[in-house]
Structure 1
Amino acid sequence: MTDTFTLNQQLAKDCIVLGSLGDSLLLLLNNSLVPWFILVPRTNACEIHDMPAEEQQRLFAEMMELARFVDNEFKPDKVNTGAIGNMVRQLHVHIIARYEDDYCWPQVVWGRPEKKVYTQKEIDRIVTRLTSRLKERFVVDQNLNK
């Protein structure tokens, strides 16, 4: 993992930094219409296949841990996982809970104008759930409530 990690400005603008999950920064897209988490590994690699094998394995484990959390906590009809990166080149992985009655099912959620920002109470509830379920693997960002 890199010591010179800086979060992409677009991700910082669109997301709430919840904390860290293992070696990755854990973000929540600030749109409560669907639970949409983003893992940003602390690496300079732009593609998963460019990461050293041991970093790939750690990222995959974090992805699976977060996907299980999303599945267990939000009970979606489908969990979407993707690392697209056309607009934001910094390597990041989306873990999204989808429901057959959500605002754009069965279409993709990317690029849609519909938005409902999270309240602080909703954010606190998600952080509590992450802390409870993921224990020491999830570390809350110290600036979250500032």
Structure 2
Amino acid sequence: MSQPGFALDPRLANDTRHVAMLALCEVRLMDDARFPWLVLVPRLPGLVEIYDLPPAQQAVLWQEANRAAQALRALAPFDKLNLGALGNIVRQLHVHVVARREGDAAWPGPVWGSGTATPYEADVLARMLERLQSALSP
């Protein structure tokens, strides 16, 4: 459940699609079909850095990142998993979980700032969201 005062940063809301609510985080899919890419946003107000979370919630964040990675692996086998909490543009604490394949559009560099996002086609997006929701359900 979201804490009072929590609001999703408008840029995250614009660039991603809702997938699921976990105990701590909202899981969102980056709307870029070039990369299977989830974003986890802890639903607490005022968070900027991981250390802003109490230690017990830091552990929950990493458990949820592992769940997200496992969900991605079930949908899109990958060669390397990239995790990041950059926050240089969007200050709100969020963790990227990106499934990378050798030869993908940004390989071997980072996905951030690489080319132009390719939004999912509506039917592909609907299937992806459904499969991710199923993979993330308890």
- Asked if Structure 1 and Structure 2 have the same fold, meaning a TM-score greater than 0.5 normalized by the shorter chain, the answer is yes
Tell me the percent identity.
37
Residues 91-100 or 48-57, more deviating? 48-57
Q: How many residues align?
A: 136
Alignment correspondent of 1:69: 71
Shift of 1:125: 1.4
Shift of 1:101: 1.4
Shift of 1:20: 1.4
Alignment correspondent of 1:31: 32
Paired residue for 2:81, among 79, 82, 94? 79
Q: Please give the alpha-carbon distance, in whole angstroms, between the structure 1 residues aligned to 2:38 and 2:86.
A: 14
Deviations 1:94-146 (A, max 9, x none): 0001111111100111112322111221122122212322224xxxxxxxxxx
Alignment correspondent of 1:46: 48
Instruction: Give the match's secondary structure for 1:124.
Output: helix
Q: Please give the alpha-carbon distance, in whole angstroms, between the structure 1 residues aligned to 2:137 and 2:30.
A: 22
Alignment correspondent of 2:6: 5
Counterpart amino acid of residue 93 in structure 1: V
Alignment correspondent of 1:122: 124
Residues 1-10 or 30-39, more deviating? 1-10
Shift of 1:84: 0.9
Counterpart amino acid of residue 29 in structure 2: L
Q: Is 1:41–1:91's contact at 8 Å kept on the other side of the alignment?
A: yes
Gaps of 5+ in 1: 137-146
| Shift in CA distance, 131/10, structure 1 to aligned 2, threshold 3 Å | closer
RMSD: 1.5
Gaps of 5+ in 2: none
Calculate the TM-score normalised by the size of structure 1.
0.85
Counterpart amino acid of residue 18 in structure 2: V
Structure 1: 4+ residue segments shifted above 3 A: none
Paired residue for 1:60, among 45, 48, 62? 62
